[in-house]
Chains A and B, each alone.
Chain A
Amino acid sequence: QEQLVQSGGGLVKPGGSLRLSCAASGFTFNHYYMTWIRQAPGKGLEWVSFVSDSGTYTSDADSVKGRFTISRDNAKNALYLQMNSLRVEDTGVYYCARPHSVSGVITTFDIWGQGTLVTVSS
């Protein structure tokens, strides 16, 4: 079945780096844009980054711009999020998610990974 399985995450000190991975299966990965969405402890959801189906176009939320880099390897059906210069406020659960599009507009996220916890603390 269609699924996303995440790995990576953990505890890191402020200013440190982490790389998250997301393995896709059950669907044609290179046909879809992909996204990362995060959730701070006890808080709501926040869109973080997206990458186009080919990987050539990316966009990031202002809160992570210049620090996080989204990428993908279509040969491996894998999505990545490289997180540098991490801050305490980056703490939370990070989800990879597959978008659903209508007439070229991403309107929702229909498949989600299980989530991975990132804790930034000294």
Chain B
Amino acid sequence: QSALTQPASVSGSPGQSITISCTGTSRDVGGYNYVSWYQQHPGKAPKLIIYDVTNRPSGVSNRFSGSKFGNTASLTISGLQSEDEADYYCSSYTDTSTPWVFGGGTKLTVL
């Protein structure tokens, strides 16, 4: 069981917006602004798309945005495109013996 909770799957049509949630506790998501999101296509390594809750690395589309409220972080993808179909993982710094925790992943299907 993963430390952070994500929905197993979400779906949307091209051009629509979707949001993926990531729920933790006050010792991780709620306690620090150190939430990241990764995109992983089948057979590929994860790719960082959001860090420190809202920041996008250079080269990542501005269709990807992040936010946080309390113990829940969210990733929003606007203007869905077919190439957005992938697995998405959240992670957070934590003040426990395991310094970084991950969510179980969400499979995004573009209909």
Contact = CB atoms under 8 A, between A and B. Distances in A.
Q: Are A and B genuine complex partners?
A: yes
A102 B45 contact: no
Contact of B34 (A59, A107, A113): A107
Given A44-B89, A44-B103, A45-B46, A109 B98 contact: no
Contact of A105 (B44, B93, B97, B103): B93
A87 B38 CA distance: 28
Contact of B36 (A47, A95, A108): A108
A95 B99 contact: no
B99 A47 contact: yes
A105 B34 contact: yes
A108 B105 contact: no
Nearest to A109: B48
Interface residues of A, number: 22
Given A45-B89, A102-B34, A113-B45, A108 B102 contact: no
Interface string B18-56: 000000000000001010101000001111100110000
B91 A43 contact: no
10 tightest A-B CB contacts, nearest first: A107-B34, A108-B51, A108-B36, A112-B45, A45-B102, A44-B104, A47-B100, A44-B2, A44-B105, A110-B48
20 contacts: A44-B105, A45-B89, A45-B102, A45-B105, A47-B100, A47-B101, A62-B97, A102-B34, A102-B52, A105-B34, A106-B100, A108-B34, A108-B36, A108-B91, A109-B36, A110-B51, A110-B57, A112-B45, A112-B47, A113-B45
